[in-house]
């Protein structure tokens, strides 16, 4: 198993997954939606099971996002 994060498109049906993700959060409060997202992250992290890959994913997800209070504008860079 490769020990690097795969950032290439890898879903058979990405639109179907996105629809399922939206459906999983339909009717929830923002706090409940965050709870679902946190649970999903932990379930997927457990499934991946490779700390090195997870560290790469965390770094990539955080890339370009300023700490709270540094700027009120959400900016995501690549």
Question: Domain extents for the chain?
Answer: 30-63
| pLDDT tops 90 at residue 73 | no
| pLDDT tops 90 at residue 66 | no
Mean pLDDT of the region 5-21: 97
pLDDT band at residue 16 under the 50/70/90 scheme: very high
CB 63 within 8 A of CB 10: no
- Burial class, 49, CB count within 10 angstroms (exposed 0-12 / middle 13-18 / buried 19+): exposed
Distance CA 13, CA 38 (A): 23
Mean pLDDT of the region 21-50: 98
């Amino acid at each position: 198993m490769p020990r690097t994060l795969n950032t290439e498109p890898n879903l058979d049906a990405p639109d179907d997954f996105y629809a399922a993700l939206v459906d999983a959060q339909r009717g929830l409060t923002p706090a409940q939606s965050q709870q679902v997202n946190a649970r999903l992250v932990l379930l997927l992290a457990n499934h991946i099971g490779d700390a090195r890959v997870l560290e790469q994913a965390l770094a990539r997800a955080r890339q370009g996002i300023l700490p709270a209070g540094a700027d009120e504008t959400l900016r995501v860079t690549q």
